Amino acid sequence: HEYTAPGELGDPAVRGAEVAEPGAVTIVVPTYNESANIRQLLHQITESVPTRLPCEVVFVDDSTDDTPEVIQEAAKDCPFPVTLLHREEPVGGLGGAVVEGMKAAGSDWIVVMDGDCQHPPSLVPELVATGERAHAGLVVASRYIKGGSRAGLAGSYRVAVSRGATWLTKSLFPRRLHGISDPMSGFFAIRRSDITADALKPLGYKILLELAVRSRPRQVTEVPFVFQDRFAGESKSSAQEGFRFLRHLIGLRTASPVARMVGFGLIGASGFLPNLVGLWALMALGLHYVPAEILANQLGVAWNFVLVEHLLFRDRRRHRNRWDRAGRFALLANADLVLRIPLIALFVDRLGMGALSATALALVTTFVLRFVGTEALVYLP
C-alpha cells in the first residue's frame, strides 16, 4: 500500500538517510475522500516551500473514493518526494493516520496539516524556523492569538462548539496545555525526537492534544494563522466524532492510576441513579423491597459495567471476552455489597468505632478493594 514518487525512496531507512538533514521537513497529510483538493494542496506546497528547505510529503489515506489514484497522478508533477500510505484498516481515525505518517517520516521536523487547504502551506517554513530559533519541540499554528483567526470555521454553531471544547480541554489539562492557546488545532510542527510514538493512543481528530499530553514536547511556541475556507468538499467531522472526542478526553484524563480510581468512583456514584429508579419501578410493580433491592442493585452494576468498559478500560479489553468480564465485574460488585455489613460490624465491635465512621471506612475499604480487584482480575494491564 505504499507508493513513492518521484524519488525511489520507498524504504523509510533509505528515505531517512536521503532526506533527513537539520531543518528538513516531512509534511504529514491525513486524507479521507479529498480527491478534489489534492492538486491544489500540492501546488500550494510547491509554491510555499523554498528549495533550500528539503521537503517530503506523506499522505496517509483512509479514503473510499479515488483519492489514492489522484495522489499518485499528482505526485508525478511534484519536485519533492510524495509518499502515499493507504490504510485498509483505518484505526484511530484522523489521529491514527497522523501517527502512521509520523512513523514513516524521514526528517527532523514533521508538519501536520489538513488536506483541504484550510491550513495555509505558506506557513510551513515559518513553523519550522520558529521551532529552530526557539529550540522548541512543538510549534502550534494557533487561531486564538493575535494575528490568527478562525475565518474558515463555518457557522456560529461550530464556533460555539469549538470554543466550548477548547475551554473544557484547557481546564482538564492546565499544566500540559500551558502555552497552547489552540489545543484543537490540526496544524503544527513537531520535532521527530520529541514524539513518543509507542506511548500514543490516538482516537479521532485531536492529535495535537494527544501529542501535547502524552509526548510532552520539551518546549512549545505558537505562530498565528488564519483558518481558511475549504478549497472543495465538506468537513468530515460529525456528531459521532464529537463523542469520540469526549472518549478521547476521558482516556487522556484517566491515564494515571490515581485518576483512574477517581473515575471509577465517579462512575460508581452515577450508578445510584439507575439503582434508585429500578428500585422505585420494581416496588411500584408490587415486588417486596428485599428482592427489589437485589434486582435494582444489578441494574446499577450493569450501568457501571457499561461505563467502565467504554470509558475507563477501553484499551484493556483484549484479555478476556465480554461475558467473562461482565461476570467477574458483577461478582466483585456483589462481593463488595456482601462484605460491607460484616466489615461495619467488625469496625464497631473490635475497633469501637461509631456506626457512621465505621460505615464510611467500610465504604472506602470495599471501594479500594473493588477497584484493585477490577484492575487485576477483569482488565489485566
Interface residues with ligand GDD (CB under 6 A)?
A: 30-32, 34, 60-62, 90, 93-94, 97, 114-116, 118, 153, 162, 184, 186, 205, 235-237
Residue 260 three-state SS: helix
Task: Report the residue number, 8 or 65, with the smaller CB distance to ligand GDD.
Answer: 65
Taking the C-alpha atoms of 233, 116, 226 and 157 in order, what is their torsion angle to the nearest 10 degrees? 40
What is the smallest separation between the CB atom of 296 and ligand GDD, expressed in angstroms?
Answer: 41
Query: The C-alpha cell of 133 is what?
Result: 530559533
What is the smallest separation between the CB atom of 206 and ligand GDD, expressed in angstroms?
Answer: 6
56 neighbors 27 (Cβ within 8 angstroms): yes
Task: Report the residue number, 140 or 312, with the smaller CB distance to ligand GDD.
Answer: 140
- Select from Mn ion, ligand GDD, none the partner in contact with residue 222, using the beta carbon and a kind-dependent cut-off of 5 to 8 Å: none
92 neighbors 22 (Cβ within 8 angstroms): no
List binders of Mn ion among 146-205 (CB under 5 A).
none
Per CB under 5 A, the list member of 67, 107, 118, 304 interacting with Mn ion is 118
Query: Whose CA is closest to 227, among 159, 139, 130, 131?
Result: 159
Task: Report the residue number, 118 or 166, with the smaller CB distance to Mn ion.
Answer: 118
Residues with Cβ within 8 Å of residue 148, at least 6 apart in sequence: 141, 142, 182, 224, 225, 226, 227
What is the smallest separation between the CB atom of 240 and ligand GDD, expressed in angstroms?
Answer: 11
Give the number of other CB atoms < 10 A from CB of residue 152.
17
What is the smallest separation between the CB atom of 117 and Mn ion, expressed in angstroms?
Answer: 9
Taking CB under 5 A as the rule, does residue 31 contact Mn ion? no
Residue carrying the nine cell digits 477548547? 166
Q: Show the DSSP H helices in the chain as ranges.
A: 12-19, 38-48, 67-75, 93-104, 124-134, 156-172, 207-210, 239-253, 257-270, 272-284, 289-307, 322-351, 355-373
Taking CB under 5 A as the rule, does residue 336 contact Mn ion? no
Residue carrying the nine cell digits 479489553? 317
Name the residue with the smallest CB distance to ligand GDD. Answer: 186
| CA 112 to chain centroid | 15
Where does this chain touch Mn ion (CB under 5 A) — which range of 108-116, 194-202, 219-227, 368-376? Answer: 108-116
Task: Report the residue number, 74 or 97, with the smaller CB distance to ligand GDD.
Answer: 97
Query: The C-alpha cell of 265 is what?
Result: 468512583
Task: Report the residue number, 37 or 304, with the smaller CB distance to Mn ion.
Answer: 37
- Select from ligand GDD, Mn ion, none the partner in contact with residue 90, using the beta carbon and a kind-dependent cut-off of 5 to 8 Å: ligand GDD
What is the smallest separation between the CB atom of 277 and ligand GDD, expressed in angstroms?
Answer: 37
DSSP 8-state symbol, 118: -
- Select from Mn ion, ligand GDD, none the partner in contact with residue 251, using the beta carbon and a kind-dependent cut-off of 5 to 8 Å: none
Where does this chain touch Mn ion (CB under 5 A) — which range of 63-71, 75-83, 113-121, 340-348? Answer: 113-121
What is the smallest separation between the CB atom of 45 and ligand GDD, expressed in angstroms?
Answer: 13
What are the residues binding Mn ion (CB under 5 A)?
A: 116, 118
